[in-house]
Structure 1
C-alpha cells in the first residue's frame, strides 16, 4: 500500500497548480501538533486514535520528552475535493518564543513558494 501512496504523491507533484503549501502557526500549546497529527491521520499514515498523542511530526527525542515542537518539520499529504486532487505540503512549526527562528524559516519557505 505504501508504494501506491508514494506513486500518487509523485503524480501530484507534477500538477503544480494543485499544490498547496501550509504552515501551521500559533502560540505554544494551542494545538498545532495535534492538528498536524489529525491531518496526517486523514491520510492513513497514523491511526486516528493516536492523533494528538503520538506527536508524529515531533521526531526528535528532546521534543517528545519536553512535549513541545522545537524544529519545524514537513510532510506531503494528499487531499481530494470533488474531481480535484491536491498535494498539501504541511509544515508544523514551533510555538515557543525560544524557537522563533524556526518559525521564521518555515513561514519564509511558504511565502517564497507562493510568489
Structure 2
C-alpha cells in the first residue's frame, strides 16, 4: 500500500471519531502567510516536500491564483497529524485575504 493510500485510509478511519477531528480555517489579511502556513502544515503531514513548503502554494490550484500569486478561492484539505501519541484528522481551509474575495472567507 502506498503512502498516499495509507493516508487516505487513516483519514477515512478518523472521520468517524469526532474527538480526534480539528477543523481549522486560516483567515487573515492579504500577504500575512496563510498559504505559507498551509504549505508548512501539509509538509508536516508528509503531503508535500519540506523543501517546497512555502513556495509550492499547494492550495492555490487555479491558474489565475498561480499567475497572480494570491489566493482567490477558499481551498480545503484533510490531513492526519500525530500529537502526544494520538492521531488527529485536520480539516484545513485556506481562505483568500483580499477584501474583494471576502465572500469566500465567509
Aligned partner of 2:102 in structure 1 is 100
TM-score of the pair, normalised by structure 1: 0.88
Cα deviation code 1:2-47 (max 9, x no counterpart): 1111111111111111111000011000000000000011111111
Aligned partner of 1:74 in structure 2 is 76
- In the alignment, the residues of structure 1 paired with residue 83 and residue 44 of structure 2 have an alpha-carbon distance, to the nearest angstrom, of 14
Higher helix share: 1
Which consecutive residues of structure 2, in runs of 5 or more, have no partner in the other structure?
Answer: none
Aligned partner of 1:17 in structure 2 is 19
Cα deviation code 1:40-88 (max 9, x no counterpart): 1111111111111110000000000000000000000111122321101
Task: Tell me which of 18, 24, 41 is aligned to 1:39.
Answer: 41
Q: Secondary structure at the match of 2:79?
A: strand
Number of equivalent positions: 104
4+ residue stretches of structure 1 with deviation over 4 A? none
Q: CA RMSD in A?
A: 0.8
TM-score of the pair, normalised by structure 2: 0.95
